[in-house]
């Protein structure tokens, strides 16, 4: 593969003139290893092509939406068909009712559904509904958990006021005493406990939920007549064909969904239990594009695949093949990887890599061999990946480990130190 990023470099330079910092948000590659391209031309199945024509096996999957492969034929046909007959109209299409029926049939805690565009819309509505339901203010959240980019939850504090963050108490994920202490601190003002289905924070190992912690969160909400909210935006339908906490036997009152529910078409959802229906009906929540019919048709087609195929078992098998192959390759070169979380949502970091130097070198070497990995964010498997893609990835990893070993001691990653200083 000829490595060139000249078109990308030119686009970045033009972007600098007309887009703040050239790019913003989670898809900015500013903080990634040096050779990551910023702009992309095409995506199909498990692959992504940059504007210079380089192809990558894409383990970011659009940062979550790509579950069944980019450009999935049946899903996109449903989208295009609906779009041609009317998408963003003066009112919703019948797909809205069908999708609410399909999701409430699919997700066992849910009796109703509301639709929006982004995960942040859904988590923000969940917070408002909990406060409306309880007439209380305080929300209890896990430290370091991501719930979106609104002033109440965005990880960077620039432009955020203390008032935006008022009435929030934090606990350590999976730690029952810490959760109890946070609820105690909320006193008689507890509106909701927010929980990620798994701990999938950046920079730290992922953790599956301890069932005792999940059950305690449920009990505490019941004792305080508060609402339990599971933020399934990232993990939704990647761990289970139901809400992710069905795996630990805990039903939330509200769950937020996004990313994969329409395989990349823009739609998110908030699902809720009967008791929160009136509270949901009496907040004002809307958006110009929230009722667009085509993403709803795409989501219906996606749900059909979720019900009717072995997609989940397939992504788990692919993830396990990758995990085993990488462990073996790392071992051959004397490295130890920390591969955490569910195999289908892999987070891959190096043991003994305090400044990220090993990870950055290795990820960059993989990129040049057509594998798009991330050094500190969890990744995703798609059903479009094949065993051959995984094997190619493991071979590229093997070569990259070899190069890493040959490189000897590396300087700390300065941009990473900068990022930590911004967030902390
Ligand atoms: C991505 C994400 C969000 C926010 O979703 P957007 O569509 O980016 O607004 C919220 N919660 C979790 C867990 C996420 O991964």
Distance 184 CA to ligand 1 centre (A): 28
Instruction: Report d(CA 327, CA 416) in Å as an integer.
Output: 25
Token pair, residue 383, equals 């059903």
Pocket of ligand 1 (CB under 6 A): 118-120, 123, 146-149, 196, 231, 233-234, 258, 268
Q: State yes or no: pLDDT of 324 exceeds 80.
A: yes
Q: Which atom of ligand 1 is nearest to the CA of 123?
A: 10
Instruction: Report d(CA 296, CA 254) in Å as an integer.
Output: 20
Q: Which atom of ligand 1 is nearest to the CA of 63?
A: 1
Distance 419 CA to ligand 1 centre (A): 20
- Over residues 116-144, the pLDDT tens digits come to 999 999 999 999 999 999 999 999 999 99
Distance 120 CA to ligand 1 centre (A): 6
Residue 68: pLDDT band (50, 70, 90) is very high
Token pair, residue 82, equals 């609906």
Distance 265 CA to ligand 1 centre (A): 15
Distance 268 CA to ligand 1 centre (A): 10
Contacts of 264 (CB under 8 A, 6+ apart): 62, 65, 66, 70
Residue among 25, 120, 255 to mutate when testing ligand 1 (max atoms within 8 A of CB): 120
Distance 399 CA to ligand 1 centre (A): 34
Q: How much is the pTM?
A: 0.97
Residue 5: pLDDT band (50, 70, 90) is low
Quote the mean pLDDT of the chain: 96
Closest residue by CA, ligand 1 atom 5:
119
Averaged pLDDT for residues 13-29: 97
3-class DSSP state of 56? strand
Token pair, residue 386, equals 């094949």
Q: State yes or no: pLDDT of 310 exceeds 50.
A: yes
Closest residue by CA, ligand 1 atom 6:
119
Task: Please state, for a pLDDT cut of 70, what percent of the chain lies above it.
Answer: 98
Q: Which atom of ligand 1 is nearest to the CA of 234?
A: 15
Check if the beta carbon of residue 78 is closer than 8 Å to that of residue 300: yes
pLDDT computed for residue 416 by the predictor: 86
Q: State yes or no: pLDDT of 307 exceeds 50.
A: yes
Residue among 119, 124, 156, 270 to mutate when testing ligand 1 (max atoms within 8 A of CB): 119
Residue 27: pLDDT band (50, 70, 90) is very high
3-class DSSP state of 384? coil
Helix spans in 50-118 (H): 73-85, 95-106
Residue among 116, 121, 123, 141 to mutate when testing ligand 1 (max atoms within 8 A of CB): 123
3-class DSSP state of 19? coil
Q: State yes or no: pLDDT of 200 exceeds 90.
A: yes
The C-alpha torsion from 323 through 326 and 332 to 335, rounded to 10°, is -90
Distance 423 CA to ligand 1 centre (A): 17
3-class DSSP state of 394? helix
Averaged pLDDT for residues 309-324: 98
- Over residues 233-270, the pLDDT tens digits come to 999 999 999 999 999 999 999 999 999 999 999 999 99
The C-alpha torsion from 273 through 279 and 284 to 290, rounded to 10°, is 10
Distance 381 CA to ligand 1 centre (A): 18
Residue among 233, 245, 289 to mutate when testing ligand 1 (max atoms within 8 A of CB): 233
DSSP string, 176-213: HHHHHHHHHHHGGGEEEEEE-SSB--SSS--BPPPHHH
Q: Which of 313, 311, 336, 318 is nearest to 390 (CA)?
A: 318
Q: State yes or no: pLDDT of 2 exceeds 50.
A: no
pLDDT computed for residue 419 by the predictor: 79
Distance 396 CA to ligand 1 centre (A): 31
- Over residues 156-173, the pLDDT tens digits come to 999 999 999 999 999 999
Q: State yes or no: pLDDT of 146 exceeds 50.
A: yes
CA of 9: how far to CAs of 4, 5, 32, 39, 362, in Å?
A: 9, 6, 15, 9, 22
Q: State yes or no: pLDDT of 402 exceeds 50.
A: yes
Check if the beta carbon of residue 410 is closer than 8 Å to that of residue 96: no
pLDDT computed for residue 1 by the predictor: 38
Q: State yes or no: pLDDT of 67 exceeds 60.
A: yes
Averaged pLDDT for residues 205-212: 98
Averaged pLDDT for residues 221-230: 98
Q: Which of 60-64, 145-149, 170-174, 414-418 has the lowest mean pLDDT?
A: 414-418
Enumerate domains of the chain plus CATH numbers: 6-60+310-422 (3.90.1150.10), 73-308 (3.40.640.10)
């Amino acid at each position: 593969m000829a490595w060139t990023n000249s078109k990308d470099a030119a686009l970045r330079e033009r972007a600098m003139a007309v887009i703040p910092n050239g790019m913003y948000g989670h898809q900015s590659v500013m903080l990634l290893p040096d050779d990551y391209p910023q702009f992309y031309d095409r995506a199909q199945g498990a692959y992504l092509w940059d504007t210079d024509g380089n192809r990558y096996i894409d383990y970011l999957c659009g940062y979550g939406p790509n579950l069944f492969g980019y450009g999935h034929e049946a899903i996109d046909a449903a989208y295009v068909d609906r779009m041609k007959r009317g998408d963003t109209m003066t009112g919703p299409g019948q797909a809205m009712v069908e999708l609410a029926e399909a999701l409430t049939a699919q997700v066992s805690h849910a009796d109703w559904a509301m639709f929006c565009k982004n995960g942040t819309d859904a988590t923000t509505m969940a917070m408002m509904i909990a406060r409306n339901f309880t007439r209380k203010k305080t929300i209890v959240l896990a430290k370091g958990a991501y719930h979106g980019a609104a002033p109440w939850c965005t990880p960077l504090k620039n432009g955020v006021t203390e008032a935006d963050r008022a009435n929030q108490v934090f606990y350590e994920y999976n730690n029952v005493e810490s959760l109890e202490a946070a609820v105690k601190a909320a006193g008689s003002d507890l509106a909701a406990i927010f929980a990620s289905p798994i701990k999938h924070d950046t920079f730290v190992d992922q953790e599956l939920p301890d069932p005792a912690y999940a059950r305690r969160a449920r009990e505490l909400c019941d004792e305080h007549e508060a609402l339990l909210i599971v933020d399934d935006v990232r993990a939704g339908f990647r761990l289970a064909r139901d809400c992710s906490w069905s795996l630990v036997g805990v039903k939330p009152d509200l769950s937020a969904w996004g990313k994969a529910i329409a395989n990349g078409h823009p739609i998110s959802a908030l699902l809720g239990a009967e008791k929160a229906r009136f509270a949901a009906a009496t907040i004002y929540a809307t958006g110009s594009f929230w009722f667009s019919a085509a993403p709803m048709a795409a989501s219906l087609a996606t749900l059909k695949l979720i019900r009717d195929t072995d997609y989940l078992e397939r992504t788990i098998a692919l993830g396990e093949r990758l995990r085993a192959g990488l462990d073996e390759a790392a071992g051959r070169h004397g490295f130890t990887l920390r591969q955490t979380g569910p195999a289908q949502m892999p987070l891959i970091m190096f043991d003994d890599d305090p400044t990220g130097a090993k990870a950055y070198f290795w990820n960059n070497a993989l990129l040049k061999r057509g594998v798009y990995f991330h050094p500190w964010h969890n990744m995703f498997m798609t059903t479009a990946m094949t065993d051959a893609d995984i094997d190619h990835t493991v071979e590229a990893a093997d070569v990259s480990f070899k190069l890493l070993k040959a490189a000897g001691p590396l300087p700390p990653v300065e941009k990473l130190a900068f990022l930590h200083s911004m967030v902390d």
